[in-house]
Homo-oligomer: A and B are copies of this chain.
């Protein structure tokens, strides 16, 4: 591998001039610039990014830390960030915390050790210690998906209250009153907001919520399955189930199918967030989806702003909250 000194020797200039010419072509004379350019081409010089990062104290890499790269929700976000970063000569490193806060922390520290230029983080935890940890991150960053109280950082996400409210209203309009809700972990902002959207919409409609109809599905498939089962074995069954995310709703569908219930004949079902292949699932689930493409675009632009412009870097933290979209299916019937 050719080094900058090889270039300098061949172009008969000093190493510092080569470095200067390459990073700021306007500040050297036309003649030397050409000499250097042809020398670069001759020896096939490519700067060592590691050495550059060490000397500069920062690299051209952007860290993306998510809880589950397999989740299609992150797919668009990742893609948008990658494309946008590429346009700005940056390079995205994806890491997966498997939703474990301690691993997330280790990953973030590793990335910072790599002197990343910026960080896009989907927080996996909450609480004072966690906030302290995130706030200790000095690198330009954008949080997304999960809004964590107390973190003074840019945040990009969806209006989860609205998401819960929209589906609740939809079920109410169809005449449902016995509506069950499979909730997520309440310490998560998305989960508690969706829950609040459900409860408040029910309340404003003057419909009382049967406490047995609110079960905890932890946003996971297995807990959602158990929660759904608890709903289905009640003597006075709900006529509709609202799943706070895709995993618990589909787990509920599975439970219904296994017990022999027909959806929407016996019980209606709707959910927040899409899954891959949702349109070959029978019935097509009525859902509210996030505009992941747009979310990804905002995350990407905001992060690169903060990275490339010192003005933007100094701006106070800002929240970007998008409205989710209603996608009708045929999993909810009028009663």
Contact = CB atoms under 8 A, between A and B. Distances in A.
B279 A276 contact: no
Given A54-B50, A254-B280, A277-B281, A96 B70 contact: no
A203 interface: no
Given A79-B98, A91-B110, A94-B69, A280 B280 contact: no
A150 interface: no
Contacts of A277: 250, 275-277, 281
B281 A257 contact: no
Interface residues of A toward B: which range?
35 or more
Contact of A279 (B51, B95, B254): B254
Say how many copies of this protein the assembly contains. 2
Nearest to A258: B279
Nearest to A70: B75
Nearest to A251: B280
Q: Which of A54, A59, A254 has the most CB of B within 10 A?
A: A54
A114 B69 contact: no
Interface of A: 46, 48-51, 53-54, 59, 69-72, 74-75, 78-79, 82, 91-96, 98, 107, 110, 113-115, 250, 253-254, 257, 275-277, 279-282
Given A69-B78, A91-B110, A94-B96, 12 more contacts: A48-B54, A49-B113, A49-B114, A50-B114, A69-B94, A91-B107, A94-B95, A253-B280, A254-B280, A275-B277, A276-B276, A282-B282
